Amino acid sequence: MRQHASFPADRRKPTADRRDTVFFRLIKNSISAISHRLPDIGRAVLIVLGFAAAAHACNVPVFRFALERWRPDPYRVTLFHRGSLAEAERALIGTVEDQSEKSSINLAVRTVDVNKLNEAEQELFSSLGKPQIPSLVVQYPAHLRIAAPVWSGLLGKESIARLTDSPIRNALVRRLADGQTAVWLLLESGQAEKDDAAAMLVQEQLKKLEQVLKLPELTDSSEDKLLSATPLQVAFSLLRVPRGDAEQPLIQMLLHSESDLAERSDPMVFPVFGRGRALLPLIGAGVTAENIHDSAAFLVGACSCEVKEQNPGFDLLLAADWDVLLAQDGVPLLASQTRNSTPTGEAELVPIPSGSAKAIETNGLPPGARNHPWYVPVLVIAGVAILIAVAARRTRVQLLRKETAGERLVHDPPTTNTER
């Protein structure tokens, strides 16, 4: 039976030095590989340049960087209708569009007349069976490339309210905005004994981790600047999600994040951090103290990510104006600069300086290299060029010495015993 983990294997090293990124290790390995062949001055140049390249690191924890700088990805909402919408229907969908335009909910709405469907729209509409019209269909953000609908329902006040609001999601937003490191959603299986056991284990471990895990030490560097007044702390909590009707949109978001989750009958634990980003779940026997620790340690560790969408997890659909909730003295946060723009399917680049966990290669550059000032790679390249030149000169001198020694052997053949 497969046990889901909420992080790739290379992130399961919470005790690693926060500056020990792939880029840093690449430099150190290069130094180790060639330094014994170089003169002392060459070694010094390489070491200075190499460590200078790795010196620009961010110590802001992953969860806090995500809270302040990661804009939630918009869910795609399609309203299928036939002919013109009635005034009341336009008013209903207009309320959602207003929320979207104000960035107080992460969704993007479009209306489609079923008499004018293109091939992709026809496929989506057909997947609903025989829906009532007008009908709302919700899909994951485009870059996740999950075509199956997350949730659907007849357009009405009740369906709009269920889609955009629920008690558990409201509590989730409040806790994250208050600065909690992560809120752990326990999606119950409906088997009380299993659900209670999972909840007890998670709560016990989270209490321990609040005491054991330590935040990275922030410096005066601009990379370590916090953008909101929200307290920086290690704090966890648990929210149990029963499989009832009230939380169906949330339940479906969780269950459809992986193709086989809907088939599972075990309790599932989703750590949620930032502005509602959920890591992939721990399931059944995979809900262990070790896995809980590793997930939490990843979130508390210094940031290391370069591309938001290449990080583990997915965003939940939440009604929250995060910039208002987190604004410090009225100063807009970095995420505000990306308001009202909808991803077209490509990954959203988020510049995060490298930190403790292994970074991800992007556009052929070494992980972490994209985060350093422009002059750092220039200096590194210049240093390497100097070292190559020094090594080449040294090699040439050695060859000349060998040639000279060879000529001496030709002109001055060794004496024999007879000659003596």
Q: What percent of the chain has pLDDT over 90?
A: 54
Answer yes or no: is 10 within a domain. Answer: no
Read off the pLDDT of residues 292-311 as tens digits, 9 standing for 90 and up.
999 999 999 987 654 566 67
CATH code of 146's domain: 3.40.30.10
Of 309, 242, 193, 264, nearest in space to 4 by CA: 264
118 and 146, same domain (yes or no)? yes
The phi, psi pair for 284, rounded to 5°, reads 50, -115
The listed range with the strongest mean pLDDT (42-51, 138-147, 383-392) is 138-147
More confident residue, 370 or 285: 285
pLDDT at 23 over 60: no
The whole-number pLDDT of residue 321 equals: 93
Which residue matches tokens 């909690």?
180
For the stretch 388-416, what's the b/e string if a residue is b when 16 or more beta carbons lie within 10 angstroms of its beta carbon?
Answer: eeeeeeeeeeeeeeeeeeeeeeeeeeeee
279 and 294, same domain (yes or no)? yes
Domain end position, chosen among 164, 193, 223? 164
Could you tell me if residue 40 is left (phi over 0), alpha (psi between -120 and 50 degrees) or otherwise beta? alpha
Q: Pull the structure tokens for residue 357.
A: 């966990």
Longest dimension (CA), the chain: 121
- Cβ atoms of 107 and 74 within 8 Å: the answer is yes
More confident residue, 412 or 91: 91
DSSP state of 319: B
The whole-number pLDDT of residue 122 equals: 94
Q: Is the pTM of this model over 0.85?
A: no
pLDDT range class, residue 64, cuts 50, 70, 90 = very high
279 and 356, same domain (yes or no)? yes
225 and 358, same domain (yes or no)? yes
pLDDT at 357 over 50: no
177 and 115, same domain (yes or no)? no
pLDDT at 393 over 80: no
Answer yes or no: is 43 within a domain. Answer: yes
Domain end position, chosen among 164, 186, 209? 164
Mean pLDDT, the chain, whole residue set:
77
278 and 180, same domain (yes or no)? yes
Answer yes or no: is 420 within a domain. Answer: no
Read off the pLDDT of residues 151-189 as tens digits, 9 standing for 90 and up.
999 999 999 999 999 999 999 999 999 999 999 999 999
152 and 86, same domain (yes or no)? yes
152 and 184, same domain (yes or no)? no
179 and 296, same domain (yes or no)? yes
The whole-number pLDDT of residue 303 equals: 79
Which residues face 176 on adjacent strands? none
Q: Work out how many domains the chain is built from and give that number.
A: 3
306 and 197, same domain (yes or no)? yes
Read off the pLDDT of residues 311-356 as tens digits, 9 standing for 90 and up.
778 999 999 999 989 976 666 565 544 344 444 444 444 443 333 3
361 and 385, same domain (yes or no)? no
Answer yes or no: is 316 within a domain. Answer: yes
Answer yes or no: is 139 within a domain. Answer: yes
Helices (H) and strands (E) in the chain, counts: 12, 10
92 and 145, same domain (yes or no)? yes
Q: What residues make up the domain containing 267?
A: 62-71+167-367
Give the Cα separation of 337 and 322 in Å (integer): 13
Q: What percent of the chain has pLDDT over 70?
A: 63
